[in-house]
Structure 1
Amino acid sequence: MKIFPLLPAIASILLLNALPARSQTTFNEVEYSPRQTVFKLNAPKQPKLTLYKSGQGDTRLKHIKMQPAGKNVWTCTVKGDLKGKFYTFNIGKGETPGVFAKAVGRCGKRGAIVDLKDTNPAGWDNDTQLTTKKMTDLVIYELHYRDFSVDPSSGLVNKGKFLCLTEKKAIDHLKELGINAVHVLPSFDFASVDENHPEQPQYNWGYDPLNYNVPEGSYSYDASNPTRRIFEFKTMVEKLHENGIRVILDVVYNHTFDLDHSNFNLTFPGAYYRYTADGKPSNGSGCGNETASEKPLMREFMLESVAYWAKEYHIDGFRFDLMGCHDIETMNLIRKELAAINPNIFVYGEGWSAGQCALPTDSLAVKANMKQMPGIAAFCDDMRDALRGPFSDDHKGAFLAGLPGYEESIKAGIAGMVAHPQVDYSKVNYSKEPWALEPTQMISYVSCHDDMCLADRLRAELPGISTDEAIRLDKIAQTVVFLSQGVPFMLCGEEMFRTKQGVHNSYNSPDSINRIDWDNLKRYPKLYSYYCDLTRFRREHPAFRMGSAEEIRKHLEFLPTKNGMVTFMLKNHAGGDEWNNIIVCINAGDDDQLVDIPDGKWYICGDLDAIDTYRSDEFVGHTLRMYGQSVKILHD
């Protein structure tokens, strides 16, 4: 029997506990009270503070030179009640609301002075992050507000707004689907949508940060009112919490929309970004610049920013865009910071960058270094691409296309990417060793926003595929995702057989490409029902939600199969499950196969038609025929 030592896990946890405490010194730039407002800024030279009557236009009230209050720290106090006024800082490079504005005017060029108590909906003081026994209980649904709500078929009133997720139809759909965590695409104030013209068709995912700590104005009904966007965002969070649904914020700290004119460089040039040895901006983000999480100001900014969203907005989790651009120590400090606020706050991200970073890979938060980041999860592209083919080639298939050689990668994903005696990592497509200490570190998925949706991908790699076959393969893919160990994740609209007309990167495509057609619920009711079956079955059976690698190695066994098929058994009441043994057989190929299972009486509770805990079609024997492109779930 192979022994899997716990020393690496113990060492990583000890390292996390030994991380230094946060300094908490830099980013409360505006402290408002009815009596006075105190402004503070970290900058290398004396800033000028300008007060304005409104968020745009020539409405200047006064200029004030800020005074030194320590090394590179400047301050000034303005007497009187400034609520509703606006401000900018200027060190001679141009006006900026600073790096940590908590409210802004339209288009985010001026900070707003507000009393945050005015932004709280009724009952907000009683709202808090939701708890869960273990992170593998989560079912994450990634959505863009506009995609979800804009089509007339949605029946939603608040189209493209935060408030669309407060509507009964939206919440009822999420609950029926079995979702308990919504991952919202970037919701901070971003640069690419002109808030001056909300009546014009504009679309962007929002991965172009402007003001990191303010909700996006275009998702509000009045971007010119600094408190309204905050109130509406909080109202959304509160309503989702009331219905048992967590809110996970997509954060993009790895780059800014612009380098030279970013709030970072207008405030403290060079202090927030990485540069190559020849002095050029590093571009690990693929967006022209790359922030430097290891530098004191950027690290402190990230720590205070996530803490602010968690405390002020009661955010339940954070998804880090291109997490592989950030250094390991900063990510661990973030995990520690959030755990002190609420240990149930979930942290995960993309375990890669989009280019070469100006730090060595062994210091970055990439997937291969996840063992150094206990309590943080990463997306499993190993299993994703083993299912549907590589991200880099939309026309190349894999397991779902009936191609051999991907079974070991599927098995690794089913095991939560932890060490398992029956998984040969030398045959896994990207990772040649297990990268997760625990299954709670793996996000299982087959599609997300920045890729083809599943139906389009199947059509691209299998030209001429019929709708019936595409739906079968869609169901097979999600069976693997939702019945794997780890944390399942799905793209909004997949349950409706969503299409983006074959567009891979639809970040700025119009509504006609990105919108979800809710009428597909009527066109493909059996597909939707199957998605609901999967989430319910996972929720009813803790065998699929084991929280530790030790449990998985003890209770998960892979049964022998040929190419194109994976079969596994969860045995001896895995995870405390009521059922003794559960077998899941997955045949993605066209050909029928025979599978040997333990001899005895079994009950078939699931296939591609339906999955039901209380279904009990009897099967006696030890050889099971698996038809091409089929799934069977049995228990004894």
Structure 2
Amino acid sequence: MFKKIFLLISLLFLNVFAVSLFADTVEPNVYVHYFRYDGAYDAWDAWVWKRNANGSAIIPTTETISGQSWATFDLPYSTYQINADTEFGIIIRARNNWDGPREPGGDRYFRAGDGHVINGDYHFYILQSNTTIYTVKPDTFHTILTASFDDQDTIQFTTTTTVTLANIQLIKGDVQVPVTNLKGSPTGYTVDTQTVDLTLPYTLRIVFGDNGTTASTRQVTFDGIYASDFFNSAYGYTGNDLGLTYTKKKSTFKLWAPISDSVKLNVYDAGHPTSVRADGDDSATEFEMTRGDYGVWSVSISQDLAGKYYTYTIQNGNSTFEVVDPYAVSSGVNALRGAIIDLDKTNPTGWNKIEIPYFSGRFVDAILYELHVRDLTSHASWNGPSNYVGKFLGIAETGTSFTKGDNTVKTGLDHMVELGITHLHLLPAFEFGYVDETRLDDPNYFKIKDGGFNWGYMPTLFNVPEGSYSTNPYDGSVRVNEFKVMVKSLAENGIRTVMDVVYNHTGDANYNFNKIVPNYFFRLSDTGALSNGSGTGNETASEHFMMRKFMVDSVVYWAKEYNVKGFRFDLMALHDVETMNQLTEALHDIDPTIVVYGEPWTGGTTPLPASQQATKETMDEMPNVAAFNDIVRNAIRGNNNGEGQGWVQGRNSSRADVIKGILGTQDTNYTFVSPNQTINYVSAHDNSTLADQIKLTSTKTLAIRKLMQTQANAIVLTSQGVPFIHAGAEMMRTKVDPAEDNGLNHNSYNASDLVNQMDYNWKITHKTVFDQYVQLIELRKAQRSFKLNTYEEINEKVEILNTGHDGVIAYRIVNDQSLYPDMIVIHSNGTKSMHSMALPAGTDAFNKDGEPVWQIAFSNLGAETFNKAQIANGENVNVKPHETIILYYGQNTDNTITIPKQQSGLSPFAISLITGGSVLSIGAAIGLMFVFKKKKIA
């Protein structure tokens, strides 16, 4: 008997041990169940991702749960390596269609371990048109799907089944009000009521079912009247004091929250709730705010709050949220709390006395240079202070260089000065998501995908400098000071600052705007979900009075507080023409030389009418706004990401579009009214770098690709319009990424420093390319012929010459106001070996020396390849494959040329000409008189 008992106990122990062992090694799946009242699941999928990882589409399977048809999205352990703490994001959308309808709620996140556990797996439940992710299967009786005021006395709503007027109730505050005139069907009913009182909440209640026992309620939103004169007259605030107004004696806080039931101000000692630098008690001191005119809540605190941090607690009906002030001027780490700072104390020494480099205000006089803040200094070859790597202060640093063997080159800011740019265009430098500012001390964080590097196109706080670019993101004053130090240093070195701004969407629609005034700041689709014209899940509604005001206020703030002298608008076609004109006018009231330009396209389908979009077809309605010219880009270098050749690589069919770009892009779907509106470029942060594009689309040798690299931007720099250069193009920048199929990354927004950094070894290896970019920029600055200000001037002074071959483009510019009054530019793309072209007779009136010869100002082949420096009228010039050559006849030595501060004159140009086979090199130094002009900051 004892042996049997011992055996039973042993077996029981082994069984318990086995169960315990299995429990420790369980591999749980996650199942998300989705219910639609129409049961139409074939048209839907789910985009799912682990937190901070890439996503993928999941096709559902259908199953019966409690007698009803549901769709189930399976997230298997084998794919996601799931544990209880694994976080997922989900978007339920039209199948394989980012432009189609989607469920409301934007990016919704859930933690696996919070799900309903069944057989060791985690289960979640989502209902159609419901933003909640349930952990227990909810009831699915008929319901109201959407409800909003369509105008001031009409409500539009949708339901899951038919309704009758007798079953509808409308409660205004806590009083029932009459409804009449029901029209429509479940996919779109309307009902009339009294004129809406915007100060009170409205609730729609509908009784479903024959027995009248099932009722559904839904708050009626004001979505349909947000853009109306009725709403704007009640809540359109025109004051310039939203956000924080700080003095040592008093701080006043104002927030526009017109439909909120209450608002509280929370003042914290620390800027981050879990920060190791937030010592002790992290609770907030609360202050009740008072509702004033136009829905503005305010409170004043009579003490010096500098160094504190703040948020607002918003109550909208049954929902309560803690939010950051959209008008905050700084923040704590990761933008979780606004910072209360004394802006005057953030000014670097001499800030109020710096002089901004002179600029005419004619966009065509600019040399735009696009740069990510980290890229300039994140490679070891920068050789600046280690604590400035990837920071605003890194851009501000001068005196850096890199030596390799016998060669030493300038790096960082000195490199940009040497190149000769006039405007530095910074990729988004305001506070954005996707970089954890508490991890910046870990150098490995910047070496991994989705680590410390991000382009920054997912904004959170529009008026706050990005914390990861500061040396201390925990202190709200530091990032502000260091941004100003950068602007000051750039200005002292002859460069103006341009900001890439992303007002067309937010990184997370639920972060601030939507919690303060639900659906006001965003456009909605026909289903009531967030529209997705940006391709990121939401798009802002610039046509709404207070969103337009926010954009105008924001750019004016950057222009005044930071002396920013240019703004580039991401996905500008998502903004309406009126908004773009208003903000441009406001900026030019501050400084008429501020440049404004943007992308004249969207990232998806938008409900904003085409006639209102700031796009290619409406540029004539925005005469002071410029736009990126993809006609020029595609014609010169080919379509994106190595998918097609351009004229430079030998696609002669692009010749006509290249010529259109040379002439300032007239008579196309771009409705430009002057060459000041066309941003000419061949590469930008998006898509392959120029060197990578050429490599992917050409089998030519490196030596030939170098000629193409120079020629592509030589076309840009000698065309009518505004030249734009992607940082590093001047030294054949590449984005090598072993993780990519072809080893090159064309979309490096989250890749890492290792892919994105600028390596100054390139400058040594490709020194001739860099030198030629310098020469071309110097020539453009000095040569007014390349910067004609009107189409009338262009059509009068620029002549396209007949070359007899589509692989050769030549044009002549006669302009007596230029250094070289009579010029010919010739480009050969290599589809013809040696091309002989007769030169026309030069204009003798411009030839002071009386020598009837054409001379050479530039060639990308270099002076050593030519056998003489000049050629008489009537002779032929022989142009080699892939050569760009610029000739001039006479020189206007009496002309005074105005050029930026950092340029003391032209460096020697290569004087060269092909006329046969022998070689002779000749250098000619061109001396210029110049005038320094500066504009003092007010």
For 1:86 and 1:23, the matched residues in 2 are separated by 25
Corresponding residue for residue 38 of structure 1: 252
Equivalent residue runs for 1:479-558 within 5 Å = 479-501=714-736, 502-558=744-800
Q: Deviations over 1:454-511 (max 9, x none)?
A: 111111112x432111101111101101111111111111112111022110000011
Equivalent residue runs for 1:104-503 within 5 Å = 104-127=331-354, 129-133=356-360, 134-157=362-385, 158-168=388-398, 169=400, 170-200=412-442, 201=445, 202-260=452-510, 262-391=511-640, 394-418=642-666, 425=667, 432-433=668-669, 435-462=671-698, 464-501=699-736, 502-503=744-745
Secondary structure, counterpart of 1:41 in structure 2 = strand
Corresponding residue for residue 81 of structure 1: 304
1:563 and 2:806 equivalent?
yes
For 1:467 and 1:570, the matched residues in 2 are separated by 32
Secondary structure, counterpart of 2:364 in structure 1 = helix
Q: Deviations over 1:161-219 (max 9, x none)?
A: 00111111333211211111100111001111111111232110111101000100110
Normalized per residue, which structure has more helix?
Answer: 1
Contact kept in structure 2, 1:26 and 1:42, CA below 8 Å: no
User: Identity of counterpart residues, as a percentage?
Assistant: 37
When residues 450 and 572 of structure 1 are mapped into structure 2, their CA distance, relative to the original with a 3 A threshold, is: closer
Corresponding residue for residue 618 of structure 1: 870
Corresponding residue for residue 242 of structure 2: 28
Q: Deviations over 1:382-408 (max 9, x none)?
A: 0100011112x5231120221121111
Secondary structure, counterpart of 1:210 in structure 2 = strand
Shift in Å, 1:329: 0.4
Contact kept in structure 2, 1:596 and 1:624, CA below 8 Å: yes
Corresponding residue for residue 606 of structure 1: 858
Corresponding residue for residue 104 of structure 2: none
Shift in Å, 1:364: 0.5
Secondary structure, counterpart of 2:764 in structure 1 = helix
Shift in Å, 1:436: 1.5
When residues 520 and 535 of structure 1 are mapped into structure 2, their CA distance, relative to the original with a 3 A threshold, is: same
When residues 110 and 128 of structure 1 are mapped into structure 2, their CA distance, relative to the original with a 3 A threshold, is: farther
For 2:855 and 2:720, the matched residues in 1 are separated by 22
Contact kept in structure 2, 1:534 and 1:611, CA below 8 Å: no
Q: Deviations over 1:398-437 (max 9, x none)?
A: 202211211111111111224xxxxxx5xxxxxx355221
For 2:626 and 2:673, the matched residues in 1 are separated by 10
Shift in Å, 1:74: 0.9
Moved more, 227-236 or 72-81: 72-81
When residues 314 and 99 of structure 1 are mapped into structure 2, their CA distance, relative to the original with a 3 A threshold, is: same
Shift in Å, 1:53: 1.0
Contact kept in structure 2, 1:27 and 1:41, CA below 8 Å: no
Q: Deviations over 1:83-123 (max 9, x none)?
A: 11111112134211221101111111111111111100111
Answer with 1 or 2: which has the greater Rg: 2
Residue number among 603, 607, 629 corresponding to 2:882 in the alignment: 629
1:47 and 2:47 equivalent?
no
Secondary structure, counterpart of 2:463 in structure 1 = strand
Shift in Å, 1:30: 1.2
Contact kept in structure 1, 2:356 and 2:492, CA below 8 Å: no
For 2:248, give the aligned amino acid: P
Contact kept in structure 2, 1:472 and 1:629, CA below 8 Å: yes
Shift in Å, 1:572: 3.8
TM-score using structure 1 length: 0.91
Contact kept in structure 1, 2:785 and 2:815, CA below 8 Å: no
Secondary structure, counterpart of 2:695 in structure 1 = helix
TM-score using structure 2 length: 0.62
Residue number among 56, 70, 73 corresponding to 2:293 in the alignment: 70
Corresponding residue for residue 17 of structure 1: none
Shift in Å, 1:319: 0.5
Contact kept in structure 2, 1:320 and 1:349, CA below 8 Å: yes
For 2:714 and 2:681, the matched residues in 1 are separated by 10
Moved more, 590-599 or 352-361: 590-599
Corresponding residue for residue 19 of structure 1: none
Contact kept in structure 1, 2:619 and 2:670, CA below 8 Å: no
For 2:858, give the aligned amino acid: G
For 2:766 and 2:786, the matched residues in 1 are separated by 27
For 2:643 and 2:542, the matched residues in 1 are separated by 36
For 2:238 and 2:293, the matched residues in 1 are separated by 15
For 1:470 and 1:233, the matched residues in 2 are separated by 38
Shift in Å, 1:594: 3.0
When residues 334 and 130 of structure 1 are mapped into structure 2, their CA distance, relative to the original with a 3 A threshold, is: farther
When residues 633 and 616 of structure 1 are mapped into structure 2, their CA distance, relative to the original with a 3 A threshold, is: farther
Contact kept in structure 1, 2:860 and 2:884, CA below 8 Å: yes
For 2:284 and 2:322, the matched residues in 1 are separated by 15
Higher relative contact order (CA 8 A, sep 6+): 1
For 1:70 and 1:607, the matched residues in 2 are separated by 66
Secondary structure, counterpart of 2:587 in structure 1 = helix
When residues 593 and 199 of structure 1 are mapped into structure 2, their CA distance, relative to the original with a 3 A threshold, is: same
RMSD: 1.8
Corresponding residue for residue 421 of structure 1: none
For 1:297 and 1:172, the matched residues in 2 are separated by 42
Contact kept in structure 1, 2:569 and 2:599, CA below 8 Å: yes
Secondary structure, counterpart of 1:582 in structure 2 = strand
Contact kept in structure 2, 1:128 and 1:314, CA below 8 Å: no
For 2:670 and 2:525, the matched residues in 1 are separated by 32
Contact kept in structure 1, 2:812 and 2:823, CA below 8 Å: yes
